[in-house]
Amino acid sequence: MGYAMSKDYYEILGISQDASEADIKQAYRRMAMKYHPDRNTDSDSTEKFKEITQAYEILSDAQKRRAYDQFGQAGVDQMGGAAGGAGGFGDMFNDIFSDIFGGAAGRRGPARGADLRYNLELTLEDAVHGTNVTIQVPTWVACNSCQGTGAEKGSKPVTCHTCQGHGQVRMQQGFFSLQQTCPTCRGAGQIIKNPCRACRGHGRVQEEKKLNVKIPPGVDNGDRVRLNGEGEAAPQGGVPGDLYVEVHIKEHAIFQREGQHLYCEVPISIIMAALGGDIEIPTLDSKVKLHIPTETQTGKVFKIPGKGVRSVRSSATGDLMCRVIVETPVDLNRKQRELLREFEKETQSHKHSPRVSKWFERMKDFIEKSKK
């Protein structure tokens, strides 16, 4: 035989009796935001908010929920009712709304220093092989006079009298308790009564510092090297930020890089393209011979394995891709032009210029079809 329920907490939160813990919390969050007295000025919003908070406290507690499901309100009353739940309204509020209203439990402490970025230009050779560079970074560093505390020598920060060192203060809004950053110490939990004259109580000063940066082999554009703790010093002795050295590779006179592969254009003469031969081309390490077969056409790409880049993200080394460009002779004298015209007469057959012949055939077909 069941027991009558004076209040239907499931109905109050708008959920079913088989709702999960996450469903209960989400429903309470949604309704609490709607009926919170600070957000809703309707006359019944306060009572409605108390009601949904009571429902949440019962249904979010596994033991109370079982008692409520089995015996109704009587089972809850035997356990001490809704008002005496674990933590009360204040703790429940911190759990549900800390990310919305900015509430936080415990002391925040000194802020962390800012991260910095340094743009480093490298040659392609240095990026591929790796290098060590020395950089100068303008930044905030810990004050030597006060060792970053912000207090004059012989003194030290004292516990904030407003928040008692917690960095947070509790404020009452109606029946509800909020936690906010302490206005006196701004969350640090300490105040400086006798500020350091060198840094004026900030605990840090601005200067340029030299740093040695090891660049690993294979870095590419946009890669970053992280130097822990080399960013800005934090005020009042907090944890310093990090420095990110971002790599930017200068344009190379011969090679272009795409991932692990290198690309280059190799100009060859008409004679070399027609008759073939061997040419010497550079790589980032040395020189290699590239064989040009007979009847090579412009735009042909030759691959030289293993002469690319070994990326920092892979153990494999890329290839060097050489694209040949057949260069037309320029600045010809009369005799050279006559020789070329004679050569043209000897090679007018489609046998010697198959691409030209095919192109003219396609063009002729196109013109005839367009006339119809």
Cα–Cα distance measured from residue 15 to residue 11, given in angstroms and rounded to the nearest whole number: 6
CA distance linking residue 194 with residue 121, whole number of Å:
45
Contact 308, 261 (CB under 8 A): yes
250-271 CB burial, b ≥16 within 10 A, e <16: eeeeebebeebbbbbebebeee
Query: In CATH, what class is 9-101?
Result: mainly alpha
**For the purposes of burial, counting CB atoms within 10 Å of the CB of 222, is it exposed (0-12), middle (13-18) or buried (19 or more)?**
exposed
What is 116-249's CATH number? 2.10.230.10
| Distance, CA of 60 to CA of 73 (rounded, Å) | 15
pLDDT score, position 179? 77
| Residue 212: per-residue pLDDT | 94
Helices 62-71 and 45-59 meet at what angle, rounded to 10?
100
What whole-number distance in Å separates Cα of residue 371 and Cα of residue 345?
A: 32
Tens of pLDDT along 195-210? 898 888 888 888 888 9
Give 184's pLDDT tier (boundaries 50, 70, 90): confident
Cα gap 177→211, rounded to integer Å = 49
178 vs 155: CA distance, rounded Å: 34
* Domain 256-327 -> CATH class: mainly beta
β-pair type (131-142, 116-122) = unpaired
Q: How far apart are CA 145 and CA 151, in angstroms?
A: 9
pLDDT > 90 fraction of the chain, expressed in percent and rounded: 34
The dihedrals phi and psi of 353, each to the nearest 5 degrees, come to -130, 70
In 3D, which of 301, 281, 282 has the Cα closest to residue 290?
281
Torsion, CA 232, CA 236, CA 239, CA 245, rounded to 10? 0
Q: What is the pLDDT confidence band of residue 339, given thresholds at 50, 70 and 90?
A: very high
Model pTM? 0.55
20-46: pLDDT as tens digits = 888 888 888 888 878 776 666 677 777
Query: How would you label 135-165 residue by residue, b for 16+ Cβ within 10 Å and e otherwise?
Result: bebebbbbbebbebbbbbeeeebeebeebeb
Q: Do 266 and 287 form a contact (C-beta atoms < 8 A)? A: no
Q: Which of 286, 358, 287, 277 is nearest to 324 (CA)?
A: 277
pLDDT confidence tier of residue 100, bands split at 50, 70 and 90:
very low
Q: What is the mean pLDDT of the chain?
A: 82
Measured at the alpha carbon of residue 89, what is the angle toward residues 86 and 94, in degrees to the nearest 5? 95
Residue 110, pLDDT > 50, answer: yes
pLDDT at 85: 39
Question: 288-321 in b/e burial notation, b at 16+ Cβ within 10 A?
Answer: eebebeeebeeebebebeebbbbbeeeeeebbbb
Q: Does position 51 have pLDDT exceeding 80, yes or no?
A: yes
Q: CA 330 to CA 96: how far, in whole Å?
A: 79
Domains 9-101 and 116-249 share a fold: no
Closest by CA position to 24, among listed 60, 50, 48, 54: 60
Contact (CB, 8 A) for 303 and 281: no
Among residues 86, 8, 87, the alpha carbon closest in space to that of 51 is found at 8
- pLDDT for the residue 75: 64
First to last CA, the chain: 95
For the chain, which residues make up each domain, given as ranges?
A: 9-101, 116-249, 256-327, 335-371
